[in-house]
């Protein structure tokens, strides 16, 4: 027995007591400091018996048997801080093993994705022509060469600049990252610097540039500012949400000659700022026109067009986008007069009016497809729900260690998911910064303060390496240099959104790659990409997880201090389980982080319900296994009260409506539950109020 036998004899061995001439056997009851000292000394070996068991006498043989059971049970229990969070480990003889059944078993089968041969539309990004042959001002050519470091024009610039310099309206469609900003910026600056007499600041706007997001407004402002470096008398300015109206009004009063703005903020100033006028406007440029319409700014565009038509007699109008939709075609019919249509693909076509344009997509089912960057390598991986977080982390760890200058953008469907994964990944993954700034992970979404958004955007633009977690607010038009990987944690709602997301890499002829993560139930989404002539190759989950073998913080130590070095599938699974355990330990460290994970899970479920009807057969909320999805949020089990809380809110609302209804008709639970999940910002209010809330959130996002 050793020490355990000694403990048994001290704590529970029966003793003899002489009472009234008789000898009585009874167990010893520890009292006072002696028992506390014994408990403190041996608490890691034996458990204290319950009060009920202490009060009942038993034979030494039975006590010996019970003590042995308790000792074995205690030895199997981990006394580390993991025990406090509920984590359990099984230990086998000679080697520490990790429980893998919950993570790698009972998962749905991963279907094989057949790679259909697709001929993608390609663009010749660069042409052989230089800017010096366009007849531009020598100082402007020098600025393009020395400041912007460009000598050869891209194909879209070669076709667009001469058309705009001739004074014609234009509708330009070209792949993202092909230089569309300079395509309209160069002829704009060339025209304004030649105005006689010289433009004065007090004249007000001569050109109006509309963009959908604040980040794109800042980026366009920076490029125009560089082009205007030799022409100091022309003043650019930017108006966007998140800034103080008072300071913007002061800049408007002083004078802005090239005004760059988001539609909502410009309409706000049209209605409230008396000093703003458009009497001298000669140019109207709408960049990312389809995104502006998608965000619900159609009424704002109408207000702006009415203000321009009432004050400026004649102007040149330009619409630009990587994709064209029916909404853009309608806008072109309203705002453009005798336009030239520039489309840069293998089959180049020009001088085609928008009404008969062959590449205008019909409800995102355009069979002609989208033009893709030539050096963009696209990949997809199918991962069970439980392994989604671990697979993403393994991919990040592998690229961060193996790539020289890793620069990655990860897209999430909601602001809450960006915040959750930012904190979780930055606290669990031990990534060392490649630069002076210790931050590896950055975030960008619509719920951030404007100062934070600007700082994050500029920091990631200038950084040589980093990981940006963001929503689709960063998917349109942003020129983020040297991005090596685009990761889509959730599939986009349309092929057009897919194109814009992956367009953040492989820009202007550079190399770039993308990865789309799908669940087994979502594998049919690949048909949508194939229908739009998007070619994607498959990655295997096991190959991504194998990068965990190189991470020392996930090593499993054997008994005797030896380390497991084998690269067999079981070791990879054990490493993945260790990583999942670290996520779970962080999430379950306290009530606050656990509740935070549940709210992020709620946001994911709500965003999942927002896919359009034509994709409901692929992304249906009923196809989600709540327990498996919860695992990808670091939760050990599916929150039993998550659905009850959602349904409880619905019941309260239904009960209230039932009392007020004249006919006392019960509200269908299924319909109300579906309504509640239509938006990540939903509050459970009736659909009309919820719709108004959604519009407000879109304005906030931009």
Question: In this predicted structure, which of 291-305, 316-330, 548-562, 574-588 has the lowest mean pLDDT?
Answer: 548-562
Average pLDDT rounded to a whole number, residues 664-675: 39
Please give the Cα distance from 167 to 182 (Å, whole number): 17
Q: Write down the H helix ranges in 364-494.
A: 388-402, 415-428, 450-462
Cβ burial, residue 335 (10 Å; 0-12/13-18/19+): buried
User: Cα separation of 180 and 62, whole Å?
Assistant: 86
Distance CA 483, CA 511 (A): 9
- Distance between terminal CA atoms of the chain? 73
Q: What is the mean pLDDT of the chain?
A: 76
CA distances from 408 to 281, 379, 498 (A): 40, 15, 16
Q: 277 burial class (0-12, 13-18, 19+ CB within 10 angstroms)?
A: middle
* 203-246 pLDDT per residue, tens: 999 999 999 888 899 999 999 999 999 999 999 999 988 788 88
Alpha helices in 510-666 (DSSP H): 525-531, 541-545, 569-587, 591-608, 626-631, 642-660
User: How far, in Å, CA of 203 to CA of 45, rounded?
Assistant: 87
Residues 125 and 180: beta-carbon distance below 8 Å? no
Q: Higher model confidence: residue 658 or residue 571?
A: 571
In the DSSP assignment, the letter for residue 84 is G
Question: What is the helix (H) or strand (E) element at residue 107, kind and residue range?
Answer: none
Strands 376-382 and 407-411: unpaired
pLDDT tens digit sequence for 353-370: 433 343 333 334 344 456
Cβ atoms within 10 Å of 294's Cβ, excluding its own = 19
Q: How confident is the model at residue 191 (pLDDT cuts 50, 70, 90)?
A: very high
Strands 283-287 and 152-154: unpaired
Q: Is 666 helix (H, G, I), strand (E, B) or coil?
A: coil
CB atoms within 10 A of CB 278: 20
pLDDT at 42 > cutoff 70: no
Per-residue CA distances from 384 to 54, 246, 608, 637 (Å): 50, 52, 16, 16
- Among 138-147, 370-379, 440-449, 600-609, the range scoring the smallest mean pLDDT is 370-379
Indicate whether 332 pLDDT > 90.
no
What's the pTM value of the predicted model, to 2 decimals?
0.67
Instruction: Count the Cβ atoms, other than its own, within 10 Å of residue 94.
Output: 9
Ranking 45-54, 143-152, 542-551, 596-605 by mean pLDDT, the lowest is 45-54
Sign of the Cα torsion 455, 457, 463, 465 reads positive
pLDDT tens-digit map of 405-429: 889 999 999 999 999 999 999 999 9
What pLDDT does residue 39 have?
A: 41
| Rounded distance between C-alpha atoms, residue 354 and residue 361, angstroms | 12
């Amino acid at each position: 027995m050793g020490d355990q036998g000694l403990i048994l004899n001290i704590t529970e061995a029966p003793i003899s007591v002489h009472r009234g001439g008789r000898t009585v056997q009874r167990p010893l009851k520890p009292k006072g400091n002696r028992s506390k000292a014994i408990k403190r000394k041996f608490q890691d070996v034996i458990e204290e018996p319950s009060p009920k068991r202490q009060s009942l006498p038993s034979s030494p043989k039975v006590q010996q048997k019970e003590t042995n059971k308790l000792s074995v049970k205690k030895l199997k229990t981990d006394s580390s801080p993991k025990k406090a969070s509920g984590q359990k480990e099984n230990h086998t003889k000679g080697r520490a093993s990790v429980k893998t059944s919950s993570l790698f078993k009972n998962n749905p089968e991963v279907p094989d994705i057949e790679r259909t041969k697709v001929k993608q539309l390609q663009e010749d990004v660069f042409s052989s022509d230089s800017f010096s042959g366009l007849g531009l001002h020598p100082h402007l050519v020098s600025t393009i060469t020395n400041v912007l470091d460009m000598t050869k024009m891209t194909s879209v610039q070669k076709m667009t600049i001469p058309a705009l310099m001739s004074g014609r309206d234009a509708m330009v469609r070209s792949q993202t990252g092909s230089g569309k900003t300079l395509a309209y910026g160069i002829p704009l600056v060339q025209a304004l610097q030649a105005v006689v007499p010289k433009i004065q600041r007090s004249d007000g706007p001569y050109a109006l540039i509309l963009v959908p997001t604040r980040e794109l407004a800042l980026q366009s402002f920076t490029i125009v500012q560089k082009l205007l470096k030799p022409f100091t008398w022309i003043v650019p300015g930017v108006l966007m949400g998140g800034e103080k109206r008072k300071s913007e009004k002061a800049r408007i009063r002083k004078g802005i000659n090239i005004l760059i703005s988001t539609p909502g903020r410009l309409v706000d100033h049209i209605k409230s700022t008396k000093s703003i006028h458009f009497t001298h406007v000669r140019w109207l440029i709408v960049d990312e026109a389809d995104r502006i319409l998608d965000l619900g700014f159609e009424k704002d565009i109408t207000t702006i067009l009415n203000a321009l038509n009432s004050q400026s007699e004649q102007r040149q109008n330009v619409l630009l986008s990587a994709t064209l939709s029916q909404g853009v075609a309608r806008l072109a019919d309203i705002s453009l007069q005798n336009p030239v249509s520039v489309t840069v693909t293998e089959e180049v076509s020009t001088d085609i009016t928008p009404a008969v344009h062959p590449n205008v997509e019909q409800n995102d089912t355009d069979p002609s497809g989208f033009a893709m960057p030539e050096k963009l390598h696209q990949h997809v991986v199918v991962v069970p729900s439980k392994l989604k977080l671990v697979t993403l982390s393994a991919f990040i760890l592998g690229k961060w260690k193996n790539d020289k200058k890793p620069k990655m953008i990860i897209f999430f469907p909601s602001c809450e998911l960006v915040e959750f994964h930012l904190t979780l990944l930055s606290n669990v993954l031990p990534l060392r910064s490649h630069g002076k700034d210790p931050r590896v992970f950055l975030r960008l979404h619509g719920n951030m303060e404007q100062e934070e958004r600007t700082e994050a955007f500029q920091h990631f633009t200038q950084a040589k390496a980093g990981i940006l977690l963001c929503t689709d607010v960063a998917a349109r038009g942003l020129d983020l240099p040297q991005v090596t990987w685009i990761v889509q944690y959730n599939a986009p709602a349309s092929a057009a959104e897919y194109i814009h997301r992956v367009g953040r890499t492989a820009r202007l002829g550079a190399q770039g790659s993308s990865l789309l993560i799908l669940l087994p139930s979502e594998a049919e989404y690949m048909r949508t990409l194939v229908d739009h002539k998007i070619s994607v190759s498959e990655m295997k989950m096991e190959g991504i997880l194998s990068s965990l073998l190189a991470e020392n913080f996930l090593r499993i130590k054997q008994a005797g201090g030896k380390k497991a070095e084998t690269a067999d599938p079981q070791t990879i699974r054990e490493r993945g389980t260790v990583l999942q355990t670290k996520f779970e330990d962080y999430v379950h460290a306290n009530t606050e982080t656990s509740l935070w994970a549940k709210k992020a899970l709620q946001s994911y479920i709500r965003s999942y319900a927002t896919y359009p009807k034509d994709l409901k057969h692929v992304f249906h909320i009923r196809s989600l296994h709540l327990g498996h999805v919860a695992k990808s949020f670091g939760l050990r089990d599916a929150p039993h009260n998550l659905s009850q809380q959602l349904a409880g809110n619905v019941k309260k609302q239904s009960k209230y409506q039932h009392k007020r209804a004249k006919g006392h008709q019960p509200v269908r639970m299924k319909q109300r539950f579906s309504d509640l999940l239509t938006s990540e910002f939903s509050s459970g209010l009736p659909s009309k109020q919820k719709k108004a809330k959604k519009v407000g959130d879109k304005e906030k996002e931009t």
